Structure 1
Amino acid sequence: MTAYTKKQKLIDALTERIESGEYPPGSKLPSGTELCAEFTVSRQVVRSAVDWLKARGLVDGAPGAGVFVRERASP
């Protein structure tokens, strides 16, 4: 599996977990180490996927604290 495919698979899984409420607004995402182990990907793939989620406004990073799901705007 290519790095792109692994990244897209991780993005899809995290997005689904956020949208389904498994990771509700304000909750902390699993650590990079945990995501690496669960999805069998490198830290670089995890960082790239998280950067994608940040760019789309789904999560925010707090230096030293982790990555948290953003509150969603009401439609």
Structure 2
Amino acid sequence: MQVCQQEGRVLVTLDLDFADIRAYPPESCPGLIVLRLARQDVNTIKTVLARLLLLLETEPLESRLWIVDETSVRIRDEG
């Protein structure tokens, strides 16, 4: 997380601990995407990431937490 903060990079992870906004507030990093997937195989991850790329065209990611599953995206704003 520290490297992402220093380099202005978004963190994409399968680690559900990062969905805890008390431990990782959205405003503490450039953006955080937590993949909450029942299946974590390569094809599922690629499909979800392709859907996210389309969403990035209309939704800002900066200082936000995106929690993504196979069918939906929940977005938590800073503060």
TMscore range, shorter length: 0.3 to 0.5
TM-score of the aligned structures, taking structure 2 as reference length: 0.32
TM-score of the aligned structures, taking structure 1 as reference length: 0.33
